[in-house]
Amino acid sequence: MPQTPDSTRRPAVRSTNRAARLEDWFHAYRERWARRHGRVPTIIPYAGYGSTERARVLCRVLLLKPARPASSPPTQADRRRALRREQLRGWRSFISCPVAFAPVTIELGGESFDVLADRGGVIDTDVLVTSEPGWQVARLATTVGEPVEAPVRIVPPDVRFGIVSDIDDTVMVTALPRPLLAAWNTFVLSEHARTPTPGMAVLMERLAAAHPGAPVIYLSTGAWNVAPALTRFLSRNLYPAGPLLLTDWGPTHDRWFRSGRAHKKENLQRLSAEFPDIRWLLIGDDGQHDETVYREFELAHPDNVAAVAIRELTPGEAVLAGGGLSKAEPVERGVDWVYAPDGSGLADQLGELDLV
């Protein structure tokens, strides 16, 4: 049953983790401070996906300065500030204040659903609704402010092929596993300075063109804070549009740290349940846990894997990333695994498999 928005109601679940309780206290303090200084609940919409019978809707609710009324034309100073915001360094995206358990109303396919955000302000929910294939629009609203629109990719029922791709060191060169450089890339480096992996955008476009209607899902252990920057990066470098499945950094109600590997495994399991007839091309790199996660998924769901494409890091990158130089052995089922240092090399091998 749909939930009824109530800004005064909070779920009764209490974190068993001291770090999570401390984080909750800190966010509550920040939320009170932000509201006293005029911040208002604002929805940051993310792209979702679904079938013709249900949809996964994603967004986050933050406390931000109220937008200038539409009737007021932007000044030159406003334009300069907008340009600076577009070029924000990564750390600024991590200081926005989330609204825990914020009520949000979702309108899609002529129906309305009332849901609550989680303790980090994130909405990640399934709604049972009939939709036409293609890109649809969900309207999202809080108790204040104007509704915003979130794109939702509805997959046609006859589609039998899809693409799941990692982001860091797969479509974008970030060297994320290296702690010091990862912190620099995430919190300091401008998004415009990030480098696309050579040939990968062309490969992804060729795959999308060869399989009309195929969903493209970007699955990463990155934080929701950087979703807008990642979306702009993918669009600017001509990657196919698709939902981002990210995570929320920090402790959970029962763990000190979130598991990136578990995040990927859970979402792959969810995709196999949502689209049981789709065979996925899994794209990742050999610097973190992609090979292990993909191999485990292949063993559990062999009929849902078309092939696995792994971008090889250089020996230096692999050592700094904490990964080995040996390739994962494909399972006995016979699903093809291909390796190359760039998109062009992967495209050549996927072409031999008639996937491109």
Tokens 């480096």 belong to which residue?
Answer: 189
DSSP H helices, 188-284, are 200-210, 227-236, 260-274
**What sign does the dihedral 47-235-297-304 (CA atoms) show?**
positive
Give the per-residue pLDDT at 338.
96
> Averaged over 239-266, what is the pLDDT?
75
Q: Is residue 252 very low, low, confident or very high in pLDDT (cuts 50, 70, 90)?
A: very low
pLDDT value of residue 322: 58
Kindly tell me if the per-residue pLDDT of 326 is higher than 60. Answer: no
pLDDT of residue 55: 98
Domains 18-154 and 161-352 share a fold: no
Find all residues with CB under 8 Å of 4, minimum gap 6, and list them. Answer: 114
Classify domain 161-352 by CATH architecture. 3-Layer(aba) Sandwich (3.40)
Reported as a single tens digit per residue, the pLDDT across 97-106 is 889 899 999 9
| Percent of the chain residues topping a pLDDT of 70 | 69
pLDDT at 29 over 70: no
pTM of the model: 0.83
Q: Which CATH architecture has domain 18-154?
A: Sandwich (2.60)
Q: Which helix (H) or strand (E) holds 29?
A: helix 18-36
* 348 confidence band (pLDDT: 50, 70, 90): very high
Q: Is 332 a residue whose pLDDT tops 70? A: no
Please report which confidence band the pLDDT of residue 355 belongs to, taking 50, 70 and 90 as the band edges: very high
| pLDDT exceeds 80 at position 178 | no
Q: In the chain, where are the structural domains located?
A: 18-154, 161-352
pLDDT at 256: 41
pLDDT for res 255: 44
Residues 6 or more apart in contact with residue 112 via CB below 8 angstroms: 2, 105, 106
Yes or no: say if 298 and 333 are a contact pair by the CB < 8 Å rule: yes
pLDDT per residue over 34-67, tens digit each?
Answer: 667 677 899 999 999 999 999 999 999 998 877 6
pLDDT at 108: 97
Kindly report which listed range (73-87, 141-155, 261-275, 294-308) carries the lowest average pLDDT score: 73-87
Question: Would you state the pLDDT for residue 217?
Answer: 98
